[in-house]
Amino acid sequence: MKLQFLFLLLLVACEPPPRTDNTTATDADTVQLSNTEPSPNEEYVMVTTAINLPLYVNHDQAAFRAWGQKTGVRISILGPSDWDVPAQIQTIEQVIGTRPAGLLINGTDPGIAQAINKAVDAGIPTVVYDSEVPGSRAPCFIGSDWYDMGRLQGERMVKLLNGRGKVACLGILGMANQEAGFQGMLDVFKKHPGIQFVGKYDDKGNFETAARTAADILAAHPDLAGFCGFDSQSGPGAGLAVKEAGRAGKLKITTVDAEPEHLKLVREGVIDYLVGQKRELFTWYGAQFLFDMAHGTNRFSANDRRAGIAPIPQAISTGAVEIDRQNIANFRVRN
């Protein structure tokens, strides 16, 4: 039944988007529009996984829609409802056949590299956003430096603990971006022998799993001094476990993301520090880079693609938003 549902979802989601009226095949292997004026039928496609994840809906997709409206082009957002990388790959490959004006791909997993490269080989302007995809030949990545996000968490945790105490971390093990974050944090801890790292634990990006895992860690290590979190559910899950253990405000918590539940927990004094991504920023500019590629806004040769030139930035780190109890008043908590 689940497979049937997924098939139907993909069938509906991947209905070929309408082609642009002013797309001109100036070259057999290049998609390039004839002028810099957008066509209302010109279509750009975002492909993600977990398409209903609030983090994506409220930030990435909202920014992409706003960009499409401001620019005057059509946009589509496609992908499976669950965290299903094979389904995201299938979606990318189906979209390639529809020849969109541009393809904005969420860098969810290294496994999507081959599908990304198929889009590049098909001459479709392609940008990877959020997290880098090793092995991808997309001309541009724009998003977060996860190693640096881990480094920021590590440095803040050391400061909160005055350089001494047991620390555990939660996240999705094996996910390339979060493994980079783990490493950034651990490299900081290596410089502080008073920090005892208990281990990294898989919460699978699920709130209930994160809360249960954090409670188990607290039972096994009653003297634990801090949690670091690396997915959107790590912080709220750890926060619940710490509150139920009666240690809110005493055990230190740092984590990624700045969603409403995270901000509330900072206000309550349960979470000490957040490092958020500038999701709207990398989605908006990722889309704009697609437009610039499609329209040849900047050209450096008679045929940049054949000359091996990417007429947009190759890689951009959009930086992080740091939030703690000192500046939480500047951030609105939405219900």
Q: Are residues 292 and 264 in the same domain?
A: no
| Domain shared by 78 and 183, yes or no | no
Q: Following CA atoms 215, 220, 221, 222 in sequence, which dihedral angle do they give, to the nearest 10 degrees?
A: 70
Lookup: tokens for 193? 């022998």
d(CA 162, CA 177) in angstroms, rounded, equals: 28
Number of structural domains the chain divides into:
2
Q: Are residues 158 and 268 in the same domain?
A: yes
Contacts of residue 306, Cβ cutoff 8 Å, sequence gap at least 6? none
Q: Is residue 17 included in any domain, yes or no? A: no
Q: Is residue 125 part of a domain?
A: yes
Residue 17 CB neighbours (<10 A): 20
C-alpha–C-alpha distance, residues 177 and 173, integer Å: 10
Tell me the residue range of the domain where 200 lies: 146-277+323-330
Instruction: Give φ, ψ of 125 to 5 degrees.
Output: -55, 125
Decide if 14 is inside a domain. no
Assigned domain for 165 exists: yes
Q: What angle do CA 100, 106, 111 make, to 5 degrees?
A: 100
130 and 161 fall within a common domain: no
| 3-state secondary structure at position 34 | coil
Using the Cα atoms of residue 287, residue 124, residue 180 and residue 81 in order, give the sign of their dihedral: positive
Q: Do 232 and 246 belong to one domain?
A: yes
Task: Provide Rg for the chain, Cα atoms.
Answer: 22
**One domain for residues 241 and 195:** yes
Q: Report the candidate in 71, 134, 131, 129 with the shortest Cα–Cα distance to residue 101.
A: 71
CA–CA separation, 308 vs 302, rounded Å? 11
In terms of residues, how long is the chain?
335
Domain annotation covers residue 8: no
Q: What is the DSSP letter of 331?
A: S
| Assigned domain for 206 exists | yes
Q: 139 with 86, same domain?
A: yes
* Whether 125 and 158 share a structural domain: no
- And the tokens for 81? 């409802």
The per-residue pLDDT for 333 is 62
Tell me: do 174 and 198 sit in the same domain.
yes
Verify that 184 and 246 share a domain, yes or no: yes
- In this structure, are 101 and 119 located in the same domain? yes
Whether residue 309 is contained in a domain is answered as: no
**DSSP H helical ranges for 161-206:** 176-189
pLDDT of 102 reads: 97
Contact 136, 109 (CB under 8 A): no
Is residue 21 in a domain?
A: no
pLDDT recorded at residue 13: 38
CA distances from 313 to 117, 139, 289, 292 (A): 18, 8, 8, 11
Report which secondary-structure segment, H or E, holds 78: strand 74-78
Measuring CA to CA, how many Å separate 273 from each of 9, 182, 225, 292?
A: 38, 16, 14, 37
DSSP for 132-169 reads --TT---SEEEE--HHHHHHHHHHHHHHHTTT-EEEEE
Helix (H, G, I), strand (E, B), or coil: what is residue 36?
Answer: coil
Residues 173, 137, single domain; the answer is no
Measured in degrees and rounded to the nearest 5, phi and psi for residue 255 equal -165, 165
- What's the pTM? 0.82
Looking at residue 83, what is its pLDDT?
Answer: 86
Q: Is 171 helix (H, G, I), strand (E, B) or coil?
A: strand
Task: Read off the CATH number of the domain in which 131 is found.
Answer: 3.40.50.2300
Output the tens digit of pLDDT for each of the chain's 335 residues. Answer: 333 433 333 333 333 344 333 333 344 344 555 567 888 789 999 999 999 988 899 999 999 999 999 999 999 999 999 889 999 999 999 999 999 999 999 999 999 999 999 999 999 999 999 999 999 999 999 999 999 999 999 999 999 999 999 999 999 998 888 999 999 999 999 999 999 999 999 999 899 999 999 999 999 999 999 999 999 999 999 999 999 999 999 999 999 999 999 999 999 999 999 999 999 999 999 999 999 999 989 989 888 888 888 899 999 999 999 999 999 999 876 54
